[in-house]
Amino acid sequence: MNNQLQATRDYHSVIERAAMDPNFDVDKLERLVAMQEASQQRSADQLFNEALSKAEAEMSVISTNANNQQTKSRYATFARLDGEIRPIYTGHGFGIQFNTEPMGEPNVIRVVGMLSNGMAQRRFQVDMPIVTQGIRGQDMMTRTHATMSAISYGKRALEIMMFNLAIGDDDDGNRAGGSYRPPAPAPAPRSMDELTDPHTGEVVDHVDPFRLEMHEGQTWAAFIEPLQRYLKHCRSIAEWDEWRLLNQDLLLKLKETKPQLFRLFEKNIEAKHEELTK
């Protein structure tokens, strides 16, 4: 670092002396400036790559926490992924800025991510489809919700690319790969202000979105009550959309078979949705 600073000072000195010499060739001065800028960029890129390598070395395999019903596969939500790696990449001086860009296609949105550390930055992008209907052609969300969902999935894809992340099967939180222990049954929360981890049963402040399962003999009320609880504790509209998207099949079935219960469910979470969209 000291050698790089000294080299920069030397370049500055040469350029200053050249600029003060009326007989100095302007073309040569421009080349000197270009050489200095190229040298500074190489130094910035080197420091960027070194910091990125150190950050990646601290990032473990991200465990999955959600199911994709259309592809019958599991994945890690953006909330899970970013929650795991944010303390690491910020600890190494990195920041991420996300944005969107207009596309020629009406049902596609480009999500852009800029990874920077104050000295250099890299641009990443991914084009995401805006899907409002399920594979059977039924409406599953509004265009606004579908757009926010596409952005959330795009941000997830970009972070995976930025840090070369690996996504693996959920091992019940045993990230070192230890022996599997069956999850403890989750006790019933005492109020709508209390959340419990679905795997450990511990009282927590937040739960990442996941797909709830309907078991044989389970009532619709037993499905709706926890989902309603999770939605009321959402921290962002993107997280809200993830919960709805992951559980869309069961919600559609509820709407078709128990319309009154579905309307009651929608009414109970309406205030929280308005709060998140303000």
State how far the Cα of 40 lies from the Cα of 6, in Å rounded to an integer: 12
Encoding tokens for residue 115?
């990874």
Residue 33 CB coordination number (10 Å):
14
Are 114 and 122 in contact by the 8 Å Cβ rule? The answer is: yes
CB burial of residue 255 (10 Å; 0-12, 13-18, 19+): middle
Mean pLDDT of the chain: 77
pLDDT value, residue 175: 38
Residue 121 φ/ψ, nearest 5 degrees: -150, 155
Question: Taking every pair of C-alpha atoms in the chain, what is the biggest distance, in angstroms?
Answer: 92
- 128-135 contacts, C-beta under 8 A, 24 or more apart: 128/153, 128/154, 128/157, 131/107, 134/70, 134/248, 134/249, 134/252, 135/70
What percent of the chain has pLDDT above 90? 22
Cβ neighbours of 251 (radius 10 Å): 20
The neighbouring-strand residues paired with 127 are 110
Confidence of residue 180 (pLDDT cuts 50, 70, 90): very low
Residue 55 in contact with residue 84, Cβ under 8 Å?
no
Average pLDDT score over residue span 2-17: 57
With 0.85 as the threshold, say if the pTM is over it: no
- The answer to whether residues 79 and 208 touch, using CB atoms and an 8 Å cutoff, is yes
Q: pLDDT tens across 138-169, in order?
A: 666 788 888 888 898 899 999 999 999 988 76
What does the DSSP assignment read for 58-97?
T--PEEP-EEETTTTEEE--HHHHHHHHHHHHHHTT-EEE
What is the rounded distance in angstroms from the CA atom of residue 241 to the CA atom of residue 169? 23
Q: Which residues pair with 261 in a beta bridge?
A: none
Q: What number of other Cβ atoms are within 10 A of residue 11's Cβ?
A: 17
- Report the alpha-carbon distance of residue 151 to residue 130 in Å, rounded: 9
Look at residue 206 in the predicted model and tell me its pLDDT: 77
C-alpha 66/C-alpha 243 separation (Å) is: 10
Identify whether the C-beta of residue 31 lies closer than 8 Å to the C-beta of residue 37: no
pLDDT in tens, 92-139: 999 999 999 988 888 899 999 999 998 899 999 999 988 877 656 666
Mean pLDDT throughout 211-231?
77
CA distance 214 to 206: 22
Three-state DSSP class for residue 228: helix
Q: Helix axis angle, 143-162 relative to 78-91, nearest 10°?
A: 40
Question: Are the beta carbons of 200 and 165 closer than 8 angstroms?
Answer: no
